[in-house]
Amino acid sequence: MRSLVRPLAGTTRGAYAPAITAAVALVRLAAAWGPHTEITAAALQKIPAQSPIRELLGPEWNGLTSWCWMPDRRRSLAVENGVAFLTDDFLFLPGVPPDVSHTMPSVEATWAPCFRRALDALRMETPWNAARWVGTLLHFVEDTGAPPHAWPRGPHGPMENWVRADKISIADSPLRVLGEDDDSAAAAFLAAMRRYADEAAERGRQIEPLATASNRPGVEAIALVSANESANMAAAVLETLGRLASQPPASAVGELHGRLPVARGPPPPVRPKVMVAGHPWSTVCAPDGRWSLRRLPPGEYELIAALPGCSPLRARANVVAGHDTEVQFESSSAAASRGRLMNPDFSLRWTRPNAPDYWQWQKESWGSEAVPVAPGERIRLLVEWTPHSTASLVVRWRNSYAPTGGRTASEPPIAPGETERELVAPDWATNARLDLLMRPGDPTNAVRRISWMPVP
Ligand SMILES: [Zn+2]
């Protein structure tokens, strides 16, 4: 791919206007620490009016009570004002499996990378992006303190849902600050998380026989202590992140920005994402396709862009201290493509080399992300099979943006030999998912590319 980098004279800091977005109501799942919203709300209340984190997140601050559910909404489409984003864009992170369990000890693998990632997002990305990464971190922090997540035995539902959410309050607890520089704060965060997980496990051990005996008041009394401790940890994380992110950079930094094409809806177009190869940094574009990454250390970077219907676009960028550099991807093909499937040739592997981003192996198939459709829309589906493929492709129409639930109808399977089919979306469908049924292994063993194109 051709790439073109234009250094600009001076910087254009703060050139974007934060869009006022309606916080999307997030669906609660049955197996989730019941009161994430109330725990986060108690933490937000604890943060003083002048704290840097409030200023850094600006209009996105109150949305944290929604974004703290992000990891429970894995593989979903979230639609705001007619434009969609993929929740996986705030969960996919090199080094952290997107399907990591939220229970001890697995959840421990999220602590350090998600703490650093949220801190980077506050420094480098828009408040819209940063709030969603902070929400993901809050979820893992809060889940760690849920009695059945810290003590994964006994009846899970009652152990985490028998709690009086209306009584959660940390007004009388001190607000902790975990450290004054990145490394000491990260180390203090991990040490505090370990203590907090141990104490939650001890409460879980006490709750287990009470929940088994259906002693709801007994469970509630202990679970409330855990919920308040979750709020204390969340508040400490928020205050610490804000202080760290608002410190001036220790050495000179530069900035990158650009713009990628975004289709017009309806159906809601999915926002593109820009990733930095070999680093945990990425950012999701604004509804007009603009993106920026601030406070990058000077040097050469390879950038990757993911857009619906396109193979990943690549560009090289040279970050110069004190400069804001415009990055141009080879985007003419992207603008021309009306395709909607993310990573249609499975070649984007930013998070893990052995599996394609935006596809998930699920027992006997590779499942796609949700592809938005308009009810009654005509779609041309093209499949490039490999020579001896024995796989088949199933299209499932959906009216829920979550991976399960809602109304579903499947098209008859498409098998090798059939390379093109025209489909009509049912008049109730809002999206479709594709399942590539095959033996375990890389999806490129079966298919080279899938195109999902609306017929004009
Ligand atoms: Zn969870």
Residues 281 and 157 in one domain: no
> How far, in Å, is the centroid of ligand 1 from the Cα of 33?
7
**CATH number of the structural domain spanning residue 306:** 2.60.40.1120
Residues 268 and 241 in one domain: no
- Quick one: pLDDT at residue 337? 72
Using the 3D structure, point to which of 190, 225, 245 is the last residue of a domain: 245
Distance CA 394, CA 68 (A): 33
Determine how many CB atoms are found less than 10 A away from the CB of residue 27. 13
In total, how many domains does the chain have? Answer: 3
> How far, in Å, is the centroid of ligand 1 from the Cα of 434?
25
- Give the DSSP letter string of 112-148: HHHHHHHHHHHHHS-HHHHHHHHHHHHHHHHHHTSHH
Rg (CA), the chain: 23
- Quick one: pLDDT at residue 98? 73
> In which domain, by residue range, is 54 found?
36-245
Q: Please report whether residue 217 resides in a domain.
A: yes
Distance CA 89, CA 187 (A): 26
> How far, in Å, is the centroid of ligand 1 from the Cα of 36?
9
Q: Please report whether residue 120 resides in a domain.
A: yes
> How far, in Å, is the centroid of ligand 1 from the Cα of 161?
13
Q: Please report whether residue 25 resides in a domain.
A: no
> How far, in Å, is the centroid of ligand 1 from the Cα of 143?
6
Using the 3D structure, point to which of 336, 369, 397 is the last residue of a domain: 336
Q: Please report whether residue 145 resides in a domain.
A: yes
Residues 85 and 173 in one domain: yes
Residues 124 and 226 in one domain: yes
**CATH number of the structural domain spanning residue 170:** 1.10.575.10
Residues 229 and 267 in one domain: no
> How far, in Å, is the centroid of ligand 1 from the Cα of 363?
22
- Quick one: pLDDT at residue 336? 59
Q: Please report whether residue 420 resides in a domain.
A: yes
Encoded amino acid at 366, one letter: W
Q: Please report whether residue 29 resides in a domain.
A: no
> How far, in Å, is the centroid of ligand 1 from the Cα of 35?
11
| Phi/psi of residue 315, nearest 5 degrees | -150, 150
- Quick one: pLDDT at residue 29? 42
Residues 153 and 111 in one domain: yes
Q: Any residues with CB less than 8 A from the CB of 94 and at least 6 apart, and which?
A: 279, 280, 350, 351, 352
Query: What is the side-by-side order of every strand in the sheet holding 290-296?
Result: 4-7, 324-328, 254-259, 290-296
> How far, in Å, is the centroid of ligand 1 from the Cα of 278?
28
- Quick one: pLDDT at residue 8? 27
- As given in the structure block, the two tokens for residue 86 are 């993929």
- Quick one: pLDDT at residue 335? 57
The separation between CA 220 and the C-alpha centre of its own chain, rounded to angstroms, equals 31
Residues 423 and 317 in one domain: no
Q: Please report whether residue 310 resides in a domain.
A: yes
> How far, in Å, is the centroid of ligand 1 from the Cα of 123?
26
> How far, in Å, is the centroid of ligand 1 from the Cα of 32?
5
Contact 173, 47 (CB under 8 A): no
> How far, in Å, is the centroid of ligand 1 from the Cα of 26?
13
Using the 3D structure, point to which of 189, 214, 245 is the last residue of a domain: 245
Q: Is 174 exposed, middle or buried, given 0-12, 13-18 or 19+ CB atoms closer than 10 A? A: exposed
Q: Any residues with CB less than 8 A from the CB of 123 and at least 6 apart, and which?
A: 245, 249, 294, 295
> How far, in Å, is the centroid of ligand 1 from the Cα of 136?
10
CA dist 117 → 66, 120, 404 (Å)? 19, 5, 28
Residues 371 and 440 in one domain: yes
Residues 283 and 194 in one domain: no
Residues 279 and 169 in one domain: no
Q: Please report whether residue 344 resides in a domain.
A: no
Distance CA 115, CA 111 (A): 6
Distance CA 97, CA 91 (A): 9
- Quick one: pLDDT at residue 25? 40
Residues 114 and 186 in one domain: yes
Distance CA 192, CA 190 (A): 5
> How far, in Å, is the centroid of ligand 1 from the Cα of 287?
28
Residues 54 and 126 in one domain: yes
Encoded amino acid at 109, one letter: A
Mean pLDDT by 10 residues, the chain (456 residues): 30 29 39 82 97 98 96 95 96 84 91 97 98 97 93 90 93 96 98 96 95 95 96 98 96 96 93 96 97 98 96 95 94 70 97 94 96 97 97 98 95 97 98 98 98 94
